[in-house]
Amino acid sequence: MSSILDRLLRREPASANLAKDRLKLVLIHDRTDLTPGTLDAIKDELITVISRHCEIDPAAVRVEMTQIGREQRLIADIPLRPSRRRRP
Amino acid sequence: MACKVITVTSGKGGVGKTTATANIGAAMAATGQHVVCIDSDIGLRNLDVVLGLENRIVYDLVDVIEGRCRLRQAMIRDKRLPELYLIPAAQTRDKSAVSPSDMVRLCDELRPDFNWVLIDSPAGIERGFRNAIAPADLVVVVTNPEVSAVRDADRIIGLVEAEEKGPARLIINRIKPDMVKRGDMLSMEDVLELLAVELIGMVPDDEIVITSTNRGVPVVLDGKSKAGQAFRDIARRLEGEDVPFLSLDEGGNIFNRFARWIHPRSNRNE
């Protein structure tokens, strides 16, 4: 309640959340040396390889860095297209 | 005597490494423990003025390492706390005068006679930092709740791990509770989520740190201040005690007080 009151009177967005979000991204790149360009390249190659074996939706594929403790992980989320029922 | 070597470092300059070293050392010595603080910031010495011992320097760290004096001759005994000693940095030399193995040898010589060796590291990630962490049993990283200090702290924590001196412990210094409350300063939770290390202290921003440094008297020797209490708590946690973290809330601004007055349950103090 008080923070809402403060916010109304100050008419400015809270800057701490902004700082935290910016730092999250900066730290991921500081820790791994992986640029957004490299991540895009990894994603494109994954799509190519996986598409050879099964049907996927390239637009829905996501490749992201996440943090678990101080450990960095590369997470690939690759939704499969539902297989069409074959009719004789 | 079981001795632990603790290095206080930060990456970014000006976050309060020297103040933290002086105060943790003074707090430990005030409870009767044998403590020696080493200023390893060669060329930019400051721990002497923070402790108020600048007029008593004859020999320094580089004199000891280069054999111009005995170790005991370079150790300055504190005026108020007889169990607290300082080994000052050289002011006219640079970091290349000391090597990591020099620091390890020096600390090994100190270990039999002290409970704690506290090393005040220079800012940065170069030679001076490597000298400072070489003999460490534990590394304490000081940061402030702002973007550049947190980023540099992350880098340092990674380097400490790479040198197999980890996991580092974290001190968040200069927290302004009012700013945190209105969402304009990273909170303790934010910083811990970003850095993913164990917290060993939170120190509120307190003018008394400046006035006590002006006088050359560590703030822990002032019984009442919140910053002094925070540093005393850090010393006890390093000694292995389980000390709860201080609530940094000082009552907040007028809106918060008003809100609490008309609606007591809006008081969200832990």
Determine the 3-state secondary structure of B73 from DSSP.
helix
Residue B44: phi and psi, rounded to 5, are -135, 55
Q: What is the pTM of this model?
A: 0.84
**Interchain pair B158, A31: CB under 8 A:** yes
Evaluate whether residue A87 is within a structural domain.
Answer: no
> Does residue A41 sit within a domain?
yes
**B27-41 pLDDT tens trace:** 999 999 999 999 999
Strand ranges inside A1-88, DSSP E: 62-68, 71-77
Q: Is residue A39 one of the residues assigned to a domain?
A: yes
A2 inside domain: no
The answer to the question of residue A44 being in a domain is: yes
DSSP code, position B104: H
Asked if B158 lies within 8 A of A23 by C-beta distance, the reply is no
The answer to whether A16 contacts B183, with C-beta atoms less than 8 Å apart, is: yes
In whole angstroms, what is the distance from residue A35 CA to residue A41 CA?
10
**Chain A interface disruption, residue of B194, B254, B257, B262, most A CBs within 10 A:** B194
CB-based contact, A86 to chain B, within 8 Å: no
Question: Which residues in chain B (93-152) have CB-CB distances under 8 A to chain A?
Answer: 146-147, 150-151
Contact list, A7 vs chain B (CB under 8 Å): 182-183
CB spacing of A15 vs B154 below 8 angstroms: no
* Domain count within chain A: 1
Q: Give a yes or no: residue A19 inside a domain.
A: no
Following DSSP, what letter does each residue of B156-223 receive, concatenated? HHHHHHHTT--S-EEEEEEE-HHHHHTTSS--HHHHHHHH--EEEEEEE--HHHHHHHHHT--GGGSS
The answer to whether residue A18 is domain-embedded is no
Residue range(s) defining the domain that contains residue A53: 35-82
Nearest one of A74, A71, A77 to A39, comparing CA atoms: A74
Q: What's the pLDDT score for residue A86?
A: 54
Chain B interface test: which of A6, A15, A30, A33 (most B C-beta within 10 Å): A6
* pLDDT surpasses 80 at B265: no
What are the Cα distances from residue B184, in Å, to A10, A12, B155, B178, B190? 11, 10, 24, 9, 12
pLDDT at B146 over 90: yes
What is B4-266's CATH superfamily? P-loop containing nucleotide triphosphate hydrolases (3.40.50.300)
Calculate mean pLDDT across residues B153-164.
95
CA dihedral B107, B110, B115, B120 (to 10 degrees): -50
What's the pLDDT tens digit per position in B188-236?
A: 999 999 999 999 999 999 999 999 999 999 999 988 899 999 999 999 9
Instruction: Give chain B positions within 8 Å (CB) of A26.
Output: 147, 151
Contact A3 B158 (CB under 8 A): no
Looking at residue A58, the DSSP 8-state letter turns out to be: G
- State whether A23 and B194 contact (CB < 8 Å): yes
Distance of alpha carbon B83 from alpha carbon B190, whole angstroms? 38
Query: What are the extents of the domains in chain B?
Result: 4-266
| Contact between chains at A3 and B184 (C-beta distance less than 8 A) | no
